[in-house]
Structure 1
Amino acid sequence: MAKMNFTPADKLIDDVWGKVGTPERDAMEAQLKDDLQAYYIGEAIKAERLKQNLTQEELGKKVGVKRSQICKLESGKCIITLPTMSKVFKALGITTATLDLGIGGKVALW
């Protein structure tokens, strides 16, 4: 049997996006963080919509957007703004939200 050589994932990441601390790596990690946040918010929207037995089209009508926009939000394919987030969650009956700033305290969003 032939010997297999394995390359650690950290080395592959370094080869593609550069070492930690380089501008390319920092940009990739920032984009990944943004994408993950958009995904988690989208999952929260989808879970609440399904819990209420709403279609994407029905939620879109409540928010004032097309079904395709709800689909993009739920899949994390677009970064949601605070005003849009407010409209979506209010349409789902979530009337208050706070942002926890840790040592800076909490801020009411809507």
Structure 2
Amino acid sequence: MAKTQMKSYSLAEMKDKYIGKKGTKEREQYEYELRMDVLGRMIKQARQERNLTQEQLGELVGVQKAQISKLESSANSATIDTIIRVFKALKADIHFNVTIENRQLELH
């Protein structure tokens, strides 16, 4: 019996084929949602490491428990101000990277 050779694809190739090539509206939306999902998980992990409930974190930030829950499941609906307040309440350092025309901007 002959073995059949299967072609393998990289993750980048799969994204290009099924989501869209870099620079397309669909791909940009996918990448944005992925980053927001990761941000939400980072908030949850930091909260749990501080042994805080969602309700306790909400009190520190000045929002309802439901907003913390929503933020942890996906940061899509949160304002940057809320995200910053959450990380400050968690006593976490925040670092932003901004790239404009292939140049990295640094905030001092």
- Does TM, normalized by the shorter one, top 0.5? yes
Tell me what 2:96 maps to. 99
Secondary structure of the structure 1 residue equivalent to 2:87: helix
Tell me what 2:81 maps to. 83
Alignment of 1:54 with 2:52, yes or no, is: yes
C-alpha distance 105-31 of structure 1, shift in aligned 2 (>3 A)? closer
Alpha-carbon distance between aligned partners in 2 of 1:35 and 1:92, rounded to the nearest angstrom: 23
The runs of 5 or more residues in structure 1 that have no matched partner are 1-7
Decide whether the 8 Å contact of 1:59 with 1:70 is kept in 2: yes
Per-residue deviation, 1:77: 5.5
Choose 78-87 or 46-55, whichever is displaced more. Answer: 78-87
Count of matched residue pairs: 93
Q: How does 1:1-110 map to 2 (within 5 A)?
A: 13=18, 20=21, 26-76=24-74, 78-94=76-92, 96-101=93-98, 103-107=103-107
Alpha-carbon distance between aligned partners in 1 of 2:77 and 2:30, rounded to the nearest angstrom: 12
Choose 85-94 or 27-36, whichever is displaced more. Answer: 27-36
When the two structures are superposed, what TM-score results if normalisation uses the length of structure 1?
A: 0.68
When the two structures are superposed, what TM-score results if normalisation uses the length of structure 2?
A: 0.69
RMSD value over aligned CA atoms? 2.8
Overall identity of the aligned pairs, in %: 32
Secondary structure of the structure 1 residue equivalent to 2:107: strand
